Amino acid sequence: MQRKSLRFYLRIYRKILVQDLKSKMSYRADFIISTIGMIFTNIAGFVSFWILFRSFPSINGWTYHEILFLYGFSLVSLTPVQCLFDNNWSLRMYVYSGDFIKYCFRPINLFFYYQSEVFDIKGLGQLAFGLGTIAYSWGKIGLDLTPLMILKMIVFLITASLVMIALQNAAAASCFWIQNSFYLLDLVVRFKDYAKYPVTIFSPVFKFIFTFIMPIAFIAYYPSLVILRPDEVPLLSWLSPLIGCLFFILSYKIWMLGASKYDGTGS
């Protein structure tokens, strides 16, 4: 099969996205209610966060506004996985029912075709909330607002997103081999709640786990150090873009390997 260009996939994705949004907007009440629900979920999370930390001026050397920055950073970096890869939650159902076979006969990349079918627009509310939190904490901390800082922010947010995308891709793809794959996917997603905290507040055991086994520390902590503490950036922070890219490529290979083994019989 002839390799398609990036421009081709961008054009196809734009058309798929437009049709998906039209479909969602045809049920406006459902769209409005779900969007409001997402906003209140983020507000509830923020209130819980505020209640937890308002009594402590600092935690293990981290001020309230620095931790708030991590919270906003994690919300923004997690937005792409929610908006663009939400269809991973349905993968096991397509595989077990045998309906996944329909994705195997189009002359385009299978991973792209499957993931592009769903865009969770509710995630944009999380994006706005996260950006607002970052802007507020940025001002309170007194960080410089320079083109270089903005460039660093964009680069490290994108690469941080790749880590969570990779974790979800790999967990979702386990359904090609594991019957009860939902529990693995759910476990991976639940771990993201710890990404909003600096990894240094955890015990050495959990610090190791969150860095090298379930690397959620690369979703917010290590990337954000480049912005928050530019004078004491550890090597893992500078390596986080490379780690994010490698994790994403590996998860893509795992996903495609599972799809290549799929025989359409369901289970």
Say if residue 136 is exposed, middle or buried (CB neighbours under 10 Å; 0-12, 13-18, 19+): middle
For residues 25 and 165, the answer to whether their CB atoms sit within 8 Å is no
- Return the bridge partners of 62, or none: 59
Q: What is the pTM of this model?
A: 0.87
Say if residue 175 is exposed, middle or buried (CB neighbours under 10 Å; 0-12, 13-18, 19+): buried
Instruction: Supply the DSSP string of 184-204, one letter for each residue.
Output: HHHHHHHHGGGGGS-GGGS-H
User: How far separated are the first and last CA of the chain, in Å rounded?
Assistant: 29
Please count the other Cβ atoms lying within 10 Å of the Cβ belonging to residue 204. Answer: 7
Q: What is the pLDDT of residues 170-226, one digit of tens each?
A: 999 999 999 888 899 999 888 888 888 889 888 999 999 999 999 999 999 999 999
Those residues of the chain that have pLDDT short of 50 are 1, 266-267
Q: How far apart are CA 188 and CA 124, in angstroms?
A: 22
Q: Letter for the amino acid at 239?
A: L
Q: What is the pLDDT of residues 34-47, one digit of tens each?
A: 777 777 777 777 78
